[in-house]
Structure 1
Amino acid sequence: MIKHYPLLRSLLIYREMPWRFLLTNLLFITVSMGLAAQQWLVGHALDDVNNGRAVMRLDDGSLDVSLAWRWFTVLLAVAVGRGLLQYVAGVLSLILSQELLTRLRARILDQVQGLQLSYHWQHGMGEMITRTTRDADKLRDALINFWRQLVETPLIVLATVSLLAWYNPLLGLVPLLLTGLALWIFVTQTERLLVLDREVGAAYDRVNQDLSEGIGGVRVIKSFSLEAGRIERFSQQVGFFAEQARVALAYASSRIPLPQVVVALSHVWIFLYGALLVRDGKLGLGELVTSLLIATTLVFRVEGIGRVMQVFADARSSAERIWQLLDTSREIRDGDQEPPAGPLGLQLEGVSVTSPTGGRSLLQGCSMQIEPGEVVALVGATGSGKSLLASLLPRLTQAQVGSVRIGSSARGWHDLRDLRLASLRKRVHVVPQESFLFSDTLAANLRLAAPEASTADLLWALRMAAAEDILERLPQGLDTALGDRGVTLSGGQRQRINLARALLAQPDILCLDDATSALDSISERTLLNNIRSLRQTLNKTTTVLLISSRLSTIELADRVLLLEDGHIVDSGSHASLTRRNVHYRDLLGVEHV
């Protein structure tokens, strides 16, 4: 049931910090009671002034102002004390709200990192950015206003109306009813505000997506002289977002005055009915002034509620989007077993994987087996599911049907779903074609795979990846910053650094998904020979799966698997497949020998 109230779910995180939450509430309660007390004291002070008791002339002609000074001291003390408590309560509420937001953002990041790749394929980067920035910021604004509007305001309304009712029941009843009517008007408008904010959020998603594509694809844009078109497209997206935001703001602003007018009628009622009570001696002049001050307080509070209603409507929409992300089921669950010791091979049995958007299966009953230490090439047409198969190995995606196992025929096979993810991913590495490097130093990028690696280890990994020459071109060697995504390096250099990073982890299974496409034949051959030599140099048996369409890469493999229509249709050496399989020859563009 609580899932239907995303904003309330966010506020319930305060349960994780109960003592600070309780202290902050007590402070706001004290501040609210202090306002009622302050107005009550003002009324009594005015009564003493009006009745001539505050300043009295004595028989000797001098003035006795002791009562006036007493009232001055009391009112000043209450005002200062209330101001200090309000300051402390405000600071505590900000700290507490920021703590809640920090915890929520940590959960968002954890969820984003833990979700399967298929979710990321379906939802663009712009949508992810919106949820962690705009939506989280709007939720923060609501959390900050939560204390004033949902804690302090009801208490102040209750205290001030109670004071009016104490003076005269009918004097307090009408302002209470008018305040309730104004709040009801606001509540009826929130659904429309929610719809408008969803439309604004969707427009903001498109702005972020367009911006991220414009920055990430800057080389393509420049290569085809698309700058003017992309700028025009982005301007249209921003213009549409601005128009949606304007409509939402105009609606919210136009709805605030009516409830204010409704509550302002309290002034009229208190002035007219209060004057009658004063005439009949049932109400003092000071109490009438206090009643009018209370009405003014109610008007300002309702004005504040009106302005913050938009904040809460926006936050409700943003919280809904955040919890949609947090409630997304993780298809990939952690196992409770460690991977088997010793060299690892790979086995797929009847594996089927459906497209993230639904429809046909990309892999259909796919079965294959690679023994420890083998170097096997996987060949298939574009879109046949090769990269999807690679993502199954470290469980970045999950098979809907069938099983993926590691181990060997001699020692048995172990289903990946039973294994701990962290342990599995230390021993099974996939190096994709897109070489991603962080905007850090070369050493820091390499140590992502082995945080405790020494400088000698880093140099060894670079040598194994045929990347030693890169150091000679970097001004500060291993301490050279590579720039955003390694922008200072060529495509081949980035690929070799990614390969060196993977080798530094010394995985048992290494899958190269077109990860050598930018390497020359000499560097590629050196790399694979170095991987084969690990058994002699480190007593390490590494199983290698090469996903490639390059003839020079395939010829280096011990065996070749042909992927077609979502499953393995043929297997053998390059020479044997060339002789007997027409489709294989067509894929590689080789002639029958």
Structure 2
Amino acid sequence: MNHPLLRALAIYREMPWRFALVTFLYIAGNLGLVWQQWLIGHAVNDVSSGRAVMRMADGNLDATLAWHWLWLLLAIALGRGLLQYAAAVLSLVLSQALLTRLRARILTQVQRLHLGYHWRHGMGELVTRTTRDADKVRDALITFWRQIIETPLVVMAAVGLLCWYDALLGLVPLLLTAVGLWLFVVQTDRLVSLDRAVGAAYDQVSQDLAEGIGGVRVIKAFGLEQQRIERFASQVGVFTGHARAALGYASSRIPLPQAVVALGHVWILFYGAHRVAAGALGIGELVTSLLVATTLVFRIEGIGRVMQTFADARASAERIWQLLDERPAIVSGPVPLPAGPLGLKLQQVRIGAVEGGRDILQDCSLTLQPGEVVALVGATGTGKSLLASLLPRLADVQHGAVLVGSDAAGWHDVRGLDLAELRRRVQVLAQETFLFSDSLASNLRLAAPQASTAQLHEGLRLAAAEDVLERLPHGLDTPLGDRGVTLSGGQRQRLCLARALLAAPDILCLDDATSALDALSERRVLDNIRRLRGDTGHGPTLLLISSRLSTLLLADRVLMLANGRISASGSHAELSANNAHYRDLLGIDHD
């Protein structure tokens, strides 16, 4: 099933009883319409022949048959109205259920996809697919499957009734309806291509809006408000131009199929009048034939009205399925992590940039024994953060292996390990902090959902963040605002560190994660982490990625990354005495 709209429609299979009920209601309503029109023809025949109202022998009028037709037609109209109302309400409920499931799948897929996909596709594009595209698919499917059910049913019933009266009376409207539908199909591809352009322009609008909100501090700091407003207005102008082109094409082309089908009225009136004059067709049948032709025109007009919606939804559905069909580059392995403390090994690792190009790490090897505190230094752009992302498998190596374990328990390639357990026991804390717009307690419990209040306080103590808690007006229940906007950079870093420590990781990598801390706070944090070894029997293995001298002095060993590999290893004193590149990197004068 390659058609994107039909693939979205297939989600209704997960709600078979509700779908079947709504389908039955639509079928019953449309069959009731054809029955109503057929009865109107019989009623007209009774009226025209004088049987509906007859004068009795005593001079009174007998309108029994007229009242019979009146009440019957009113009952059918009322019944059809109730059926249509129920079908409309239930179809909306059903389509909302589909939208909920579609958005849930999009969000699940977005969370499953690797970071490389997120870097290639901006936040604006992913938000658009979850909101605008999903809404368009939902709006179309409200009418799409209804048209799939109703249009063939109405056409068959209407043409069948006309052919019952006279074969030629029904064949010409059938031919005209087929031509009208064919014209719609021909126009669809152009409408889809136009909506693809509209969707791409909308992505840019969403991306620009997201950047304008997320980067508001930078914009204000550099006085870029007017420039960003003009840029956003330009993107909106491009979007408006594409949208206007799509609407213009639909408005100018869709009336043609409607006009073609409306010619059926002319044929029925001409040919039907001829058959009435010949006595082969009654007035009631002619009236019914005209009503049926009107139903066909309204049906085609309905298709015309939703044609633009279908084209929009088809392009949107393609974009959604492109996302949902993307195969995650990183999948979980079946092997559980070994119990006990974990160390880390990189064996001849090679990995390039996300978009390809030269290798950033090549033949890179290193070893961290369980509980060791090791610092990693290197010039900007040497791949330190990329190396850190390999530990919890946020990225995978192209050659070589990343191993965790110990000499006693054995070493295991992270690609074969259970991904959820690996990311719980191996934590990487980046310089860029992220706090959700929730309470402090909720942010801290992301790493340890069952943590007690005492444990939260202990995590804050380990991260030297007790003073942050003291300054918050409502303590742990204080909302932190969007991305922790109410806090300073150092406060955010300490809270993120407390969150990571609450998970009790076996390997903890701090990728410049203490850059906003003063030297005293940094020493307190690292001393607290070291003391965990005495409290629990083993502390986490620490990899400190930093170029701050105060950090390097706290490490057991320093590794230097250059030209994609570990070029030197030793204590800070040894490297500063024997390695000129190390001294240049830290700005140390050598006497």
Shorter-chain TM-score above 0.5: yes
Equivalents in 2 of 1:350, 1:8: separation in Å?
48
Residues 237-290 of structure 1 show CA distances to partners (whole Å, capped at 9, x for unaligned) of 011101110111111111111111101101100000000011111111111111
Is the CA contact (8 Å cut-off) linking 1:27 and 1:89 kept in structure 2? yes
The 5 Å alignment of 1:432-451 reads 432-451=430-449
Equivalent residue for 1:207? 205
Alpha-carbon offset, residue 422 of structure 1: 1.1
Equivalents in 1 of 2:547, 2:539: separation in Å?
25
The 5 Å alignment of 1:189-588 reads 189-588=187-586
Is the CA contact (8 Å cut-off) linking 1:373 and 1:543 kept in structure 2? yes
Equivalents in 2 of 1:109, 1:19: separation in Å?
26
Alpha-carbon offset, residue 23 of structure 1: 2.3
Equivalent residue for 1:46? 44
Aligned AA (1:479): D
Equivalents in 2 of 1:299, 1:98: separation in Å?
30
Is the CA contact (8 Å cut-off) linking 2:337 and 2:418 kept in structure 1? yes
Equivalent residue for 1:85? 83
Corresponding residue SS for 2:356: coil
Q: Which runs of 5+ in 2 are unaligned?
A: none
The 5 Å alignment of 1:69-218 reads 69-218=67-216
Is the CA contact (8 Å cut-off) linking 1:14 and 1:21 kept in structure 2? yes
Equivalent residue for 1:30? 28
Equivalents in 2 of 1:556, 1:359: separation in Å?
36
Aligned AA (2:189): E
Corresponding residue SS for 1:330: coil
Corresponding residue SS for 2:300: helix
Corresponding residue SS for 1:460: helix
Aligned AA (1:276): H
Corresponding residue SS for 1:369: strand
Equivalents in 2 of 1:57, 1:23: separation in Å?
48
Q: TM-score, normalised by structure 2?
A: 0.98
Question: How many aligned positions are there?
Answer: 591
Equivalents in 1 of 2:585, 2:5: separation in Å?
55
Equivalents in 2 of 1:166, 1:565: separation in Å?
85
Residues 503-551 of structure 1 show CA distances to partners (whole Å, capped at 9, x for unaligned) of 1111101111110000000000000000000011233421011111111
Equivalents in 2 of 1:581, 1:89: separation in Å?
79
Alpha-carbon offset, residue 15 of structure 1: 1.9
Aligned AA (1:523): S
Equivalents in 2 of 1:154, 1:351: separation in Å?
61
Is the CA contact (8 Å cut-off) linking 1:32 and 1:159 kept in structure 2? no
Equivalents in 1 of 2:585, 2:44: separation in Å?
97
Equivalents in 1 of 2:525, 2:540: separation in Å?
13
Equivalents in 1 of 2:101, 2:451: separation in Å?
32
Equivalent residue for 1:10? 8
Residues 288-330 of structure 1 show CA distances to partners (whole Å, capped at 9, x for unaligned) of 1111111111111111101211111111111111111111111
Is the CA contact (8 Å cut-off) linking 1:35 and 1:156 kept in structure 2? no
Corresponding residue SS for 1:533: helix
Aligned AA (1:243): G
Alpha-carbon offset, residue 89 of structure 1: 1.7
Aligned AA (1:387): S
Aligned AA (1:451): P
Equivalents in 1 of 2:363, 2:207: separation in Å?
36
Q: 1:61 aligns with which of 59, 62, 67?
A: 59
Alpha-carbon offset, residue 53 of structure 1: 0.6
Is the CA contact (8 Å cut-off) linking 2:333 and 2:416 kept in structure 1? yes
Equivalents in 1 of 2:124, 2:14: separation in Å?
31
Moved more, 348-357 or 430-439: 348-357
Is the CA contact (8 Å cut-off) linking 2:371 and 2:538 kept in structure 1? no
Residues 105-143 of structure 1 show CA distances to partners (whole Å, capped at 9, x for unaligned) of 111111100111111111111111111011111101111
Equivalents in 1 of 2:537, 2:444: separation in Å?
22
Alpha-carbon offset, residue 20 of structure 1: 2.3
Equivalents in 1 of 2:106, 2:563: separation in Å?
37
Corresponding residue SS for 2:329: coil
Residues 389-435 of structure 1 show CA distances to partners (whole Å, capped at 9, x for unaligned) of 11111111111221111101232101111111111111111111111
Query: What root-mean-square deviation, in Å, do the aligned CA atoms of Structure 1 and Structure 2 show?
Result: 1.1
Aligned AA (1:561): L
Is the CA contact (8 Å cut-off) linking 1:210 and 1:234 kept in structure 2? yes
Is the CA contact (8 Å cut-off) linking 2:556 and 2:571 kept in structure 1? yes
Aligned AA (1:586): D
Alpha-carbon offset, residue 573 of structure 1: 1.0
Q: Which runs of 5+ in 1 are unaligned?
A: none
Is the CA contact (8 Å cut-off) linking 2:9 and 2:145 kept in structure 1? no
Equivalents in 1 of 2:158, 2:368: separation in Å?
79
Equivalents in 2 of 1:59, 1:147: separation in Å?
57
Equivalents in 2 of 1:250, 1:554: separation in Å?
65
Is the CA contact (8 Å cut-off) linking 1:347 and 1:367 kept in structure 2? yes
Equivalents in 1 of 2:372, 2:441: separation in Å?
30
Alpha-carbon offset, residue 39 of structure 1: 0.5
Aligned AA (1:79): A
Equivalents in 2 of 1:522, 1:282: separation in Å?
105
Alpha-carbon offset, residue 562 of structure 1: 1.0
Corresponding residue SS for 1:534: helix
Aligned AA (1:17): M
Is the CA contact (8 Å cut-off) linking 1:127 and 1:208 kept in structure 2? yes
Is the CA contact (8 Å cut-off) linking 2:180 and 2:261 kept in structure 1? yes
Equivalents in 2 of 1:286, 1:91: separation in Å?
35
Equivalents in 2 of 1:385, 1:401: separation in Å?
15
Aligned AA (1:322): I
